[in-house]
């Protein structure tokens, strides 16, 4: 499914998603105060510099300066665009994808 989704749908996916739960499927995370830490999946490291903030629903790596929200994580990790990342997150958290409008017909009815 390609194309633009309404902002309301994007916000409903954002509200249903849990960044810690999602990223934990890719990277082992451990509690560190109010945040979670782990090894960054975007560069090689031996000491955890990857931080996930459940309150702000953001991630940041202090080693390679990569960061953002859950959609940007999926875009970076899976090498996909925003629409695909949105669909991946929606499916993961059980948010039903909206029906797309049928394309406009330009010829006579069959």
pLDDT tens track for 13-35: 999 999 999 999 999 999 999 99
d(CA 110, CA 99): 24
Q: What is residue 86's predicted lDDT score, i.e. its pLDDT?
A: 96
Q: What is residue 1's predicted lDDT score, i.e. its pLDDT?
A: 41
Q: What is the pLDDT along the chain (110 residues), one digit of tens a residue?
A: 445 889 999 999 999 999 999 999 999 999 999 999 999 999 999 999 999 999 999 999 999 999 999 999 999 999 999 999 999 999 999 999 987 554 544 555 55
Nearest 5°: phi and psi at 10? -60, -45
**Are the C-beta atoms of residues 29 and 73 closer than 8 Å to each other?**
no
**Are the C-beta atoms of residues 81 and 2 closer than 8 Å to each other?**
no
Q: How many CA atoms lie within 13 A of 100 on its CB side?
A: 8
């Amino acid at each position: 499914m390609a194309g633009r989704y309404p902002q309301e749908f994007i916000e409903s996916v954002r509200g249903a998603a849990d960044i810690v739960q999602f990223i934990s499927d890719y990277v082992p995370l451990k509690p560190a105060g109010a945040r979670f830490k782990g090894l960054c999946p975007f560069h090689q490291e031996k000491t955890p510099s990857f931080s996930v903030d459940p309150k702000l629903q953001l991630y940041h790596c202090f080693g390679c300066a990569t960061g953002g929200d859950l959609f940007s994580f999926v875009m970076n990790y899976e090498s996909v665009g925003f629409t695909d990342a949105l669909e991946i997150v929606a499916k993961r958290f059980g948010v039903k994808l909206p029906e797309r409008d049928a394309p406009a017909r330009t010829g006579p009815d069959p």
